Chain A
Amino acid sequence: MGEFRMPSLGADMETGKLVEWLVKPGDRFKRGDIVATVETQKGLFEVEIFEEGIMGEPLVQAGQRVPVGTVLAVTHPEGAVAVTESTMQAPPGETAGKPSGPLETLSAPAATPPQPSLSAERVPCSPSARRLAAELGVNIEDVRGTGPHGAIQRTDVEMAAHHPAAPAETSVPSPTAPATSGTLQEGMRQAIAAAMSRSNREIPHYYLEMDIDMSRTLKWLEGENLKHPIRERILPAALLLKAVAKALQDVPELNGYWLDDHLQVKPEIHIGFAVALRGGGLITPAIHNVDRLALSELMKAVGDLIERTRAGRLRSSEMSDGTMTVTNLGDLGVRTVFGVIYPPQVALVTFGRIMERPWAEGGMLGVRRCVTATLAADHRATDGHRGSQFLDALDRHMQHPEAL
C-alpha cells in the first residue's frame, strides 16, 4: 500500500488546493501519469505520480485545500485487493482549519509593549559616569550634572566624590559605600543627625508594644525551608516584613506621610528597611510593594537590597520613597527597640531578638519562641487605638504564615 501525497511544488508552497482528480478509485496508473490537478498561489499544476499501482479511495476531495505532505489517496500495488481504510484519519480540509503546529506556536507577540524602564524624571547621566558613581559610592541623586541637558558626566561624579554636598535637612540619609572617606562618613552622620533631630523635635511619638508568639510560624518556616536548597531558604525577617505589610493593609493610616499638617495615606506599601553599614551609619532603603511580593521574592529583594546598600549601588528611588520603616535589631540581642520615625513617615515598627521565653496560655506555662514588636507612631496622624489594631493585625498575620 502506498500513499499519494500533496506534493511540494515550490519552496514557498505550504498548502495546495486539490482541484480535480484525473483518476478514479480502481484506475491503474504508472509512474509519470498525471493523476490530479492542484492549485497553488502560482497557478494550476498537473501533478504526476512517481509509482505504479491502482488508485484507492481518495482521502481528499476536489475543492479541499490541504498542507503539503497530506495524504491525498491511498494506492495499492498492481494485483493487490483494494481495501477501504475506514480508520484512515481524514486530513484537515479547508473548513477544518489551518495546518497545525508552526502556525500555532507562532502566536502573536504580547499585546503590551515592553515598559520603558526609565522614568520621565530620571536624571540624565552618562553611562560612564553612572558606572563611576557606583565604583566611588556616590549617589547619582546627589550629583549636580553640568553636561548637555544637565546630564551628569564623569567630572561631576568625581567632584561629588571629593566634595559631597551636605544633605538638606529634610533628606533621609544618603547611601554611601562603606568607608570610602572620612568626609563621607561625616556627611552621613550629619544627615542622620539632622533627620533624627527633626523627628524628635517635630513628631509626637507614641509607643505600643506586643509580644508575639513565633513558635508555630517558625516551625512552619523550618518545614518549608527543608524543601528548598540553602540559597532559596527564607529567613524570619522576610516573614516579619510581610506580616507588617499585611497589617498595613488592614490599618492603612500608618502607611503614609505627614505633610503640610495632613496625613497622606499612601496606596503603595514601600517598607523602608534599616541596613547598618559595616563602616558605621545606617541606611533605610525601601522595598517596593512588599504586600505584593511572595515570600521567596521578598527574601530575594531583602538580600539584594542589603548587598547593594553595602556596595553603594542603591537606586535613588529606593532611598526616598519608603512609606513606613521596619527596624530589626534582633541580630544584636536586643529585646525591645524604641525607634525614631523617619520624617515624613508616620510609623516605625521595630523588632527585637526572637528568643525562647516562658509563655502562659490556657492556664499552662510553656516555652515559646517570641519576638517583641514595638510600634512607634506619629500622634498627629493616628492614635493608640489604631496603633493597637495594627499590632493585633500583625500578630494575627504572623500566626498564619502559610497565607503570607
Chain B
Amino acid sequence: MSKQSATVETSYREALKEAIREAMTRDERVFLMGEDVGHYGGCYAVSKGLLAEFGPERIRDTPLSESAFVGAGIGAALGGMRPIVEVMTVNFSLLALDQIMNNAATIRHMSGGQFNVPLVIRMATGAGKQLAAQHAHSLEGWYAHIPGIRILAPATLEDARGMLWPALLDPDPVLIFENNTLYNLEGTLPENAVAVDIDKAKVMHTGNDLTIISYSASLFKCLDAAKALSREGVEAEVIDLRTLRPLDDATYLASIAKTHRALIVDEGWRSGGISAEISARIMEQAFYELDIPVERVCSAEVPIPYARHLEEAALPQVDTIIAAAKRMVSHG
C-alpha cells in the first residue's frame, strides 16, 4: 500500500457484517435471508443489528427449510434481486445441495444463456470448536467440483471484508465459506477498506525452499509453521488460494518453479478432495519442476469427533505441517 490510511480495529465477524451492510446500502436489490439471521442476530452473530437497520423485508428470517429458502434465493436471483442466503453450516447445506447443483449451477447452461443466477450463499464451515460430526466438516472442496459456481474461502480480515461485493457483482452463483474458527479473528483494516480481487491466489509469506498451498483457517497454521521453519533456516512460501473455483493455478505453479517442492494443507479430507485436484494439476503442469513428490497434510479420514484431543488429532496442525515440510527439505 502506497498511502497510509487510517485503520480500524475489527474482527472477521465485524468485517463480514460491514460488507453486508455496505452491499445493502449500495444496492437495494441486495437482501439477506436464512435461519436466525434476523431476530436472533445470526448463528455466528454476523448479522446482529442488521434487522433493526434494514427491517424485516431485507433481513429475512426463514423457516428451517434449507432446500426451500436456498431455492427461493435462486428464484429471487432469477427474478432480478441480489440475494445473500446464509446457510448455518456446510453440513446443513447438503439439504439444499439439489438446489445448488441442479438449479443454481445449471440454469444458465440449460437455458442456453437466457437466465443467470446472481446469487451469493454464505455458510460456516470447518472444525475446531468441538461441534462433532454434523456441524464441523469442510466440504468446500466438494462444491469446487461443480462447474457453473464460484467458490470463495476468505481467510483474512481483508477478504472477509472485501469478497462479498465482487461476489454480488458476479452474474453467476458464488458460495462463500467462512471457517467458524475465524469469526473471532481480530486485527486492523484500513478504514476505507475496499473490494478485493476474487480471481487470484495470494503469496502470504515468501520463501525459496518449499511452497505450502492452503486456504481458510489452515492458512494461519501454515503461516505459523513457516515462521517456525524460518527460525530453523527453512524458508517456506505460503500461498492462500482464496478462490477454490476457479483455481488460480498460475500463482502456485510460479512458486513451485522457484521452490521445486509443494505441500498442500487442507482441512478437507484427502481422498478425492481439493488437495488431490491441486496435486494433479501440479503433476500436469509442473512435473518437471518437482524435486520431491507432492505431499499433503489433510484431515484424518474420520467424521470430525467431539473430544478435543481427538478433534485436534484429526485436523492439520502446525506441528504436522512443520514435520512434513522438514521431511521434504531434509534431503538436499
Contacts and interface: CB of A to CB of B under 8 A. Distances in A.
User: Do A and B share a direct contact in the complex (Cβ within 8 angstroms)?
Assistant: yes
Interface of A: 126-131, 146-148, 151, 153-156
A146 B287 contact: no
Interface in B210-255: none
Contacts of B260: 126, 128, 154
B331 interface: yes
Given A128-B260, A154-B260, A146 B332 contact: yes
A153 B292 contact: yes
Contacts of A128: 260, 288-291
A126 B331 CA distance: 12
B290 A155 contact: no
A126 B292 CA distance: 6
A153 B291 contact: yes
A127 B260 CA distance: 10
A112 B175 CA distance: 47
A131 B260 CA distance: 12
A127 B331 contact: no
Contacts of B290: 126-128
Interface of B: 260, 287-292, 331-332
- 4 tightest A-B contacts by CB? A155-B332, A147-B331, A126-B291, A128-B291
A154 B331 contact: no
B255 to A, nearest CB: 14
Contacts of A151: 292, 331
Given A128-B260, A154-B260, A147 B332 contact: yes
A146 B332 CA distance: 7
Given A128-B260, A154-B260, A148 B331 contact: yes
Contacts of B332: 146-147, 153-156
Contacts of A148: 292, 331
Given A127-B288, A154-B291, 6 more contacts: A126-B260, A126-B291, A146-B331, A147-B331, A148-B292, A151-B331
Nearest to A158: B332
21 contacts: A126-B260, A126-B291, A126-B292, A127-B288, A127-B291, A128-B260, A128-B290, A128-B291, A129-B291, A130-B288, A131-B288, A147-B331, A147-B332, A148-B292, A151-B331, A153-B291, A153-B331, A154-B260, A154-B332, A155-B332, A156-B332
A130 B289 CA distance: 10
Contacts of A130: 288
A350 B237 CA distance: 57
A60 B290 CA distance: 64
A148 B295 CA distance: 13
A139 to B, nearest CB: 18
Contacts of A147: 291-292, 331-332
B54 to A, nearest CB: 50
Contacts of A127: 287-291
A96 to B, nearest CB: 42
Contacts of B291: 126-129, 147, 153-154
Contacts of B288: 127-128, 130-131
Contacts of A153: 291-292, 331-332
A224 to B, nearest CB: 40
Nearest to A126: B291
B152 to A, nearest CB: 32
Nearest to A150: B331
B20 to A, nearest CB: 46
A124 to B, nearest CB: 11
A126 B287 CA distance: 9
A272 B292 CA distance: 35
Nearest to B283: A127
Nearest to B327: A148
A65 B164 CA distance: 61
Nearest to B330: A148
Contacts of A155: 332
A246 B288 CA distance: 40
Nearest to A130: B288
A128 B260 CA distance: 7
Contacts of B289: 127-128
B259 to A, nearest CB: 10
Contacts of A129: 291
A147 B327 CA distance: 10
Most chain-B Cβ atoms within 10 A of its Cβ — which of A128, A131, A148?
Answer: A128
A155 B261 CA distance: 13
Contacts of A146: 331-332
A128 B288 CA distance: 5
A130 B287 CA distance: 11
Contacts of A154: 260, 291, 332
A151 B330 CA distance: 13
A131 B331 CA distance: 18
Nearest to A156: B332
A147 to B, nearest CB: 4
A148 B329 CA distance: 10
Nearest to B331: A147
Most chain-B Cβ atoms within 10 A of its Cβ — which of A127, A131, A154?
Answer: A127
A148 B288 CA distance: 18
Nearest to A125: B291
Contacts of B331: 146-148, 151, 153
A148 B330 CA distance: 9
A147 B292 CA distance: 8
Most chain-A Cβ atoms within 10 A of its Cβ — which of B260, B287, B290, B331?
Answer: B331
A127 B292 CA distance: 8
Most chain-B Cβ atoms within 10 A of its Cβ — which of A126, A148, A153, A154?
Answer: A126
A129 B332 CA distance: 12
A129 B260 CA distance: 10
A126 to B, nearest CB: 4
